[in-house]
Amino acid sequence: MAKDKNRTRRVNINNRTLLTKGLQQSFWRDLNHRAMTAAWPQFFLSAAAVFFCFNLFFAALYALGDKPVANTPDNGLIWLLYFSFETLATVGYGDMHPQTHWGHAVATVEIFTGLSFLAVYTGLIFARFSRPTARFMFARHAVIGPENGRPTLMIRIANERQNTISGANARLWLLRDVTDGSGRQSRRFIELKLLRTENPVFALSWTLYHEIDPKSALHGLTRESLEDIDGSIILTLTGVDDSSGMNLHARHSYSSTQIKWQHRFSDIIGRTSEGDIVIDYGKLHDVVEL
What are 107-157's pLDDT values in tens digits? 999 999 989 988 999 999 988 888 777 789 999 999 999 998 899 999 999
What pLDDT is stored for residue 276 in this prediction?
A: 84
Q: 247-255 and 205-211: which strand pairing?
A: unpaired
Alpha-carbon Rg for the chain in angstroms: 29
The predicted-structure confidence for 152-164, as pLDDT tens digits, reads as follows 999 999 998 888 8
C-alpha closest to that of 120 among 50, 192, 39, 23: 50
Residue with the bigger pLDDT between 271 and 5: it is 271
What pLDDT is stored for residue 76 in this prediction?
A: 87
Q: Between the CA atoms of 126, 128, 134 and 139, what dihedral angle is there, to the nearest 10 degrees?
A: -160
| The model's pTM | 0.72
The predicted-structure confidence for 220-234, as pLDDT tens digits, reads as follows 999 999 999 889 999
Residue 144: partners with Cβ closer than 8 Å, 6 or more residues away: 151, 152, 153, 154, 212, 218, 259, 260, 261, 262, 263
Asked if residues 21 and 5 have their Cβ atoms less than 8 Å apart, the reply is yes
Task: Return the H-helix or E-strand segment holding 54.
Answer: helix 40-63
Q: Whole-angstrom Cα distance, residue 171 to residue 185?
A: 25
Domains parsed from the chain with CATH numbers:
38-130 (1.10.287.70), 136-289 (2.60.40.1400)
> 273: buried, middle or exposed (CB in 10 Å: 19+, 13-18, 0-12)?
exposed
Confidence check: pLDDT of 106 > 80: yes
Backbone dihedral region of 35: left (phi > 0), alpha (psi from -120 to 50 degrees) or beta? alpha
- What is the average per-residue pLDDT within 93-105? 90
The predicted-structure confidence for 59-70, as pLDDT tens digits, reads as follows 999 999 989 999
Task: Return the H-helix or E-strand segment holding 31.
Answer: helix 31-37
Quick one: CA dihedral 265, 271, 276, 282, positive or negative? negative
Q: How many helical (H) and strand (E) elements, i.e. helices and strands, does the chain have?
A: 6, 16
What pLDDT is stored for residue 143 in this prediction?
A: 96
Q: For residue 156, give the amino acid letter.
A: R
Q: Whole-angstrom Cα distance, residue 1 to residue 23?
A: 10
Cα atoms in the Cβ-side hemisphere of radius 13 Å centred on 36: 10
Q: Whole-angstrom Cα distance, residue 101 to residue 62?
A: 11
Q: Whole-angstrom Cα distance, residue 38 to residue 220?
A: 43
Residue with the bigger pLDDT between 231 and 8: it is 231
- What is the average per-residue pLDDT within 215-220? 92
